[in-house]
Amino acid sequence: MKAVGSKMKITRRQLRKLISETIYGRKGYKVPPTDPMTRVPSGPMKDNLQGIIDSDDETNQRQGYDFAIQIQEPDIVFPIDQSEPYEELAYQGDDYLDDLRRSKEYYHQVGIYSPESPTGTTTVNVPLPYEIIDLVVSAWNVWRKDKSKDIQFGQALNKYYDYVNSQVNAPIGWWGEDGIHPELDQALHDGSFSV
């Protein structure tokens, strides 16, 4: 954004970003990155790439997106200030899958004891870093395939609960499910009954 005189000028990209942040912000998400596949020309190459990206194997998906990033066609940007249009890539990052995953902010909703509250508890949303989510989900996936790995799964769950407790810094009265990562939610559920 540029201030010119007493007026603020923004590009269309900046305007789209502001609009998107407003829409997604209501749901608690950051602006997701633009899928580079939306800028790959239609044809056999795009069909083949889509087949790779639709694979269950994350390595294949990552390779498909890496190639799509390289061959995506740029958008033409028309600045509001009437200067010359220019080309700009829709996705400008290095790793679409990681950027997409990090664009979603997950949290764990807990109730902490609060004598001032009429209900006796106050709701707190604890932001969850991906390192914590990945730790638990990875241990849970290993445990699902080999139930003898319950010690590692239990250790991951303990680290998770220690992290949430350290962020709240108060006695927790209840654990909610709003805003939590879906696989993490299932891992916590399985862990409470099995580990």
d(CA 164, CA 128): 8
d(CA 88, CA 71): 13
Q: What is the pLDDT of residues 67-112, one digit of tens each?
A: 999 999 988 888 777 778 788 888 888 888 877 776 666 778 788 8
Average pLDDT estimate for 136-147: 88
Tell how far CA 115 is from the center of its chain: 35
Query: What's the pLDDT band for 8 if we cut at 50, 70, 90?
Result: low
> Rg of the chain's alpha carbons, rounded to an integer?
22
DSSP state of 104: S
Average pLDDT estimate for 49-69: 91
Query: For residues 35 and 96, is the Cβ–Cβ distance under 8 A?
Result: yes
Query: For residues 110 and 161, is the Cβ–Cβ distance under 8 A?
Result: no
**Cβ contacts of residue 20 below 8 Å, gap of 6+?**
31
Q: Where are the domains of the chain?
A: 2-102, 106-194
Query: What's the pLDDT band for 126 if we cut at 50, 70, 90?
Result: confident
Q: What angle do CA 38, 39, 43 make, to 5 degrees?
A: 85
Q: Is this model's pTM higher than 0.85 or not? A: no
Tell how far CA 57 is from the center of its chain: 19
d(CA 2, CA 129): 33
